[in-house]
């Protein structure tokens, strides 16, 4: 036997190719959610203090959140019932983390971050990970979103709840289950209890389901859930209607042109084709969210003006989805280098505009008033023992956030302070008593609204203005953002009416 024959046989085997691993969807989902959330937090923390200033509505939140829960409830019986839940939430936040500008605004930053994550997931589910990521990144860049990310009010929380309710709705259509509908209903109801105009998103959801042609059991489940939400909201809606005088300052739609500009851009983006990935198509979901809440508020405003852009802040969810899908469409490789150049120039112009808008939104002038400046001006122009007058009495909330600003002055019209009276601005004396107390002073510092501001027809206000006109002369006026602080000195030769 030869050596070769005695050698063990070598069996050649061909190794099987390793199994092809498909990339897990989890990393894509994580990026789609976390990247928008982190961008929102970064933008929210950028300039969050606004040079240590606060505006009027935030000052109300700040003051009421310092009261006990029982006092918040008693105050809500008279005024601001629609925001009572938010004040209670902020009371607990202040109790845990202390009061201050950061504590006042951080909940809104975190809430809007959650909303951005939900927008990313919606885009992922409806049109794929690229659309989801782009929509989620577009959302915190929108000017209205940037603004209310840094507001100590309820609107960012409402937006977050509507965004997640919308995601649960889309998931519920794909996997019909009672648990999902229960979560959807509770989320929408909580949004409505924070601000009742969130119920308009429910209408947009219903239209989306009808247009999508979902099966009858799904439509029936949504109808039952919507009925439960309306029933749960009804007590708040009925009781808050008795406080409708609070929105008497709305005489025309507030910031409608700015809102319409963003909405038109979003709806125009709906013309771009988007591949469907489920029973609900992205434009069919997004367009109703953009259009219907705004349209319904404008129709209601024909009877009583009600439209304020922040009341439908959650419409930006739809705008972000549509713009994200549009950007994805035009981001695909173009055949023409000229098209790519035009797209690049347009992108740079949009980013530059967003940066400039972002810089302006982080200044005190970006809000309708600056109560910090009002208080500082009163402290500067006032002297120890001067009289202090608010024209009208509702402006007392402007200086209540920092009592040190008015400590050396005497409030001439106040009969009972806001806390003990369970009101926002306190209870004032009868008109004759106010006029009599004014005549005891030689100098009066008056806090007034801007020129042309709505002034209530009230005997007290008439007594204040007529007494100033007849017995005092204007010594000097300081104009601050959204207000005027005027010093009056006694004129010892009274003038006729």
What pLDDT is attached to residue 10? 46
pLDDT at 11: 44
Q: What is the mean pLDDT of the chain?
A: 90
User: What is the tens place of the pLDDT at every residue in 391-443?
Assistant: 989 999 999 989 999 999 999 999 999 999 999 999 999 999 999 999 999 99
Report the phi/psi class of residue 51: left, alpha or beta, with left for phi > 0 and alpha for psi in -120 to 50: left
Q: Encode the chain in three state secondary structure.
A: CCHHHHCCCCCCCCCCCCCCCCCCHHHHHHHHHHHHHHHHHHHHHCCCCCCCCCCHHHHHHHHHHCCCHHHHHHHHCCCCHHHHHHHHHHHHHHHHHCCCHHHHHHHHHHHHHHHHHHHHHHHHHHHCHHHHHHHHHHHHHCHHHHHHHCCCCCHHHHHHHHHHHHHHHHHHHHCCCHHHHHHHHHHHHHHHHHCHHHHHHHHHHHHHHHHHCCCHHHHHHHHHHHHHHHHHHHHHHHHHHCCHHHHCCCCCCECHHHHHHHHHHHHHHCCCCCCCCCCCCHHHHHHHHHHHHHHHHHHHCCCCCCCEHHHHCCHHHHHHHHHHHHHHHHHCCCCCHHHHHHHHHHHHHHHHHHHHHHHHHCCHHHCCCCHHHHHHHHHHHCCCCCEEEEECHHHHHHHHCCHHHHCCCEECCEEECHHHHCCCCCEECCHHHHHHHHCCCCEEEEEECCCCCCCCCCHHHHHHHHHHHHHEEEEEEEEECCEEEEEEEECCCCCCC
Task: Tell me what pLDDT residue 125 has.
Answer: 94
Location of structure tokens 């030869």:
2
pLDDT given at position 247: 84
* pLDDT averaged per 10 residues, the chain (length 497): 46 50 62 96 96 94 95 94 96 94 97 98 94 95 96 97 97 85 97 97 96 92 96 95 85 90 91 85 96 95 92 97 91 61 71 87 93 95 95 92 92 95 94 95 95 79 94 94 95 62
pLDDT of residue 22: 53
Tell me, what's the pLDDT at 74?
Answer: 95
pLDDT at 27: 54
């Amino acid at each position: 036997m030869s050596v070769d024959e005695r050698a063990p046989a070598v069996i050649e085997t061909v190794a099987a190719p390793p199994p092809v691993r498909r990339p897990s969807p989890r990393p894509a989902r994580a990026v789609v959610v976390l990247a928008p959330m982190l961008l929102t937090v970064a933008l929210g923390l950028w300039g969050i203090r606004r040079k240590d200033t606060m505006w009027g509505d935030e000052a109300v939140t700040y003051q009421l959140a310092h009261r006990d829960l029982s006092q918040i409830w008693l105050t809500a019986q008279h005024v601001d019932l629609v925001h009572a839940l938010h004040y209670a939430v902020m009371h607990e936040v202040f109790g845990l983390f202390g009061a201050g500008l950061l504590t006042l605004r951080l909940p809104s930053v975190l809430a809007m971050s959650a909303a951005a994550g939900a927008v990313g997931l919606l885009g992922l589910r409806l049109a794929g990970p690229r659309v989801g990521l782009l929509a989620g990144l577009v959302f915190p860049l929108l000017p209205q979103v940037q603004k209310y990310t840094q507001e100590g009010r309820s609107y960012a929380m409402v937006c977050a709840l509507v965004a997640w309710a919308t995601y649960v709705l889309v998931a519920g259509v794909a996997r019909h289950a009672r648990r999902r509908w229960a979560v959807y209903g509770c989320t929408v109801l909580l949004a409505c209890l924070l601000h009742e105009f969130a119920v308009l998103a429910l209408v947009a959801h219903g239209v989306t389901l009808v247009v999508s042609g979902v099966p009858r059991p799904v439509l029936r489940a949504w109808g039952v859930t919507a009925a439960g939400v309306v029933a749960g909201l009804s007590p708040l809606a009925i009781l808050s209607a008795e406080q409708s005088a609070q929105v008497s300052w709305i005489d025309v739609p507030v910031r409608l042109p700015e809102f319409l500009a963003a909405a038109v851009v979003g709806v125009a983006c709906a013309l771009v084709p988007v591949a469907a990935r489920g029973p609900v198509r992205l434009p069919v979901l997004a367009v109703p969210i953009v259009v219907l809440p705004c349209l319904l508020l404008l129709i209601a405003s024909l009877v009583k003006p009600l439209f304020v852009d922040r009341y439908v802040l959650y419409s930006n969810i739809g705008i972000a989805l549509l713009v994200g899908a549009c950007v994805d469409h035009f981001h695909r490789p173009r055949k023409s280098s000229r098209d790519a150049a035009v797209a690049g120039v347009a992108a740079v112009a949009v980013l530059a505009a967003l940066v400039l808008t972002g810089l302006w939104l982080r200044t005190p002038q970006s809000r309708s008033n600056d109560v910090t400046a009002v208080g500082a001006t009163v402290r500067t122009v006032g002297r120890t023992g001067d009289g202090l007058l608010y024209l009208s009495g509702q402006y007392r909330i402007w200086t209540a956030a920092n009592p040190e600003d008015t400590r050396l002055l005497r409030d001439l019209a106040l009969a009972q302070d806001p806390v003990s009276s369970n009101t926002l601005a306190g209870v004032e004396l009868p008109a004759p008593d106010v006029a009599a107390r004014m005549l005891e002073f030689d100098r009066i510092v008056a806090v007034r609204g801007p020129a042309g501001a709505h002034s209530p027809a009230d005997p007290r206000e008439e007594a204040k203005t007529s007494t100033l006109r007849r017995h005092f002369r204007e010594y000097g006026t300081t104009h601050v953002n959204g207000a005027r602080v005027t010093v009056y000195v006694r004129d010892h030769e009274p003038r006729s009416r």
